[in-house]
Chains A and B, each alone.
Chain A
């Protein structure tokens, strides 16, 4: 569904991504794990068109999307939930959701989709008129995910959804991710929490300093000595 071929990204003189290739098959959860600064977020932002790669190609459902503006990529059905949620804090929750459906001109459909999001995240319904900035961290993550779902993505990119959340909330968020996948959304999940993400993923890639150093079946990665040593505390 998504194919990234030998992508290189530079920030000025800094070579942030040194040739990443990866593939996300339809219907799967694929996870990208690695430490801070490994280039995971840069990789996601490049896929979304927020950063232009120096070289390499990105294909979404067979279509070359390298260098295509972000809004066109969102239109194709690829949406990102950014790191740190990036919700519109000074707007009420329902407006955040409306903005998620910005490209959908069909008001009726938007209302139905919003209903679905409220059903999935009942806490958002209770607070729909409150400013998004007043939500707790976990609720903000739910809002960010709900907002992304409003664009009806076929491929959802999630950047560190567990960041800053308590273990119980992390569990809840991950079970929602799994549920979304079971209902047909393909997922590319970027995480530092290697154990959690590998446990729900089908496939995994390990990123280190801008390169993919390990790739394979998620279960195997979970058992692999390198991953255990580097990310799972022995």
Chain B
């Protein structure tokens, strides 16, 4: 029971990271039907920006988090403008391959810039451990969860209550009809990339303070896992990405906790295969029929 609770808590922390990254995948897919495989690398860039702010500039956690989110939002928009906008009407496979190209560019560009060595995050937050019934919770885990939940609430507010959020939903439903409302489709897509990238950056900084170590290829595996999480919840569905992220994090932590850590990664991908066979629309997906 103790192992279970402990792994549940660890899984929620890990799941928060997956969920934040998965949101960007799902939002971008929802609006341009593109699996942005460079998304995991934006998360990596976010982690490095957090490292730069805390280790080199000596900033504290919150300013570092905000700076990383803003810079990655801009990075996301630049990637979209330079790499994906010219391919908007090209076959989807072209955009997909381009995304892989952008991913490699970010990984090895970063390596060139900061060298491939692993960097250690400074102790921005001194670790405090709380013990309840033999279960250990650290203040970092609490912060990860609090930041994640706060960002998710903010995202839900933006998507449902603001005009830009409504525009995003309209564009994802029907681009031409959205244009006829006077919505600028290009700006709306840019905004979506910006928000998704900012969330990935937040995940990067949180991972930095949680696991301490970062490197230029750190985005590959979490990027793929977050993609699995997005598909698990139903690609294109925001609450699905949140749920899928947490679920996947918890499953992985359980697998590790019960002595099968070698199976962590395979389990995630087996989940992907099962979902694609059994319910390709994901847990939250439904087939909406429209009247004509």
**A interface residues, Cβ below 8 angstroms from B:** 48, 50, 69-71, 74-75, 79-80, 82, 84, 86-91, 95, 98-100, 102-103, 133, 135-137, 140, 147-148, 151, 164
Contacts and interface: CB of A to CB of B under 8 A. Distances in A.
Interface stretch (B92-100, B167-175, B206-214, B253-261): B167-175
Contacts of A48: 180
Identify the interface centre among B173, B179, B180, B288: most chain A CB within 10 Å of its CB.
B180
Contacts of B176: 50, 82, 86
A71 B183 contact: yes
Contact of A50 (B166, B179, B292): B179
Interface residues of B, number: 20
B274 interface: no
B contacts with A: majority SS? helix
B184 to A, nearest CB: 5
A87 B163 CA distance: 17
Interface string B145-186: 000000000000000000100110110011011111111100
11 contacts: A70-B179, A71-B179, A74-B181, A86-B177, A86-B180, A89-B290, A91-B169, A91-B170, A99-B170, A99-B178, A133-B291
Interface of B: 163, 166-167, 169-170, 173-174, 176-184, 288, 290-292
A133 B290 contact: yes
A68 to B, nearest CB: 12
A88 B180 contact: no
Given A89-B288, A90-B288, A140-B291, A102 B163 contact: yes
A194 to B, nearest CB: 22
B180 A70 contact: yes
Contact of A86 (B163, B169, B174, B291): B174
Contact of A88 (B163, B173, B179, B291): B173
A102 B182 contact: yes
B231 to A, nearest CB: 20
Given A88-B174, A89-B173, A95-B166, 20 more contacts: A48-B180, A50-B176, A50-B179, A70-B179, A70-B180, A71-B183, A80-B180, A86-B174, A90-B169, A90-B288, A91-B166, A91-B169, A99-B181, A102-B163, A102-B181, A102-B182, A102-B183, A135-B291, A140-B291, A147-B181
Contact of A137 (B178, B181, B292): B292
Identify the interface centre among B169, B177, B179, B181: most chain A CB within 10 Å of its CB.
B181
Contact of A75 (B177, B179, B182): B182
Nearest to A100: B181
Nearest to A89: B290
A164 B170 contact: no
Contacts of B290: 89, 133
Identify the interface centre among A70, A79, A148: most chain B CB within 10 Å of its CB.
A70
Given A88-B174, A89-B173, A91-B173, A164 B181 contact: no
B27 to A, nearest CB: 15
A99 B292 contact: no
Q: Which 5 A-B pairs have the closest CB atoms?
A: A74-B182, A86-B177, A103-B182, A70-B179, A71-B182
Identify the interface centre among B167, B183, B290: most chain A CB within 10 Å of its CB.
B290
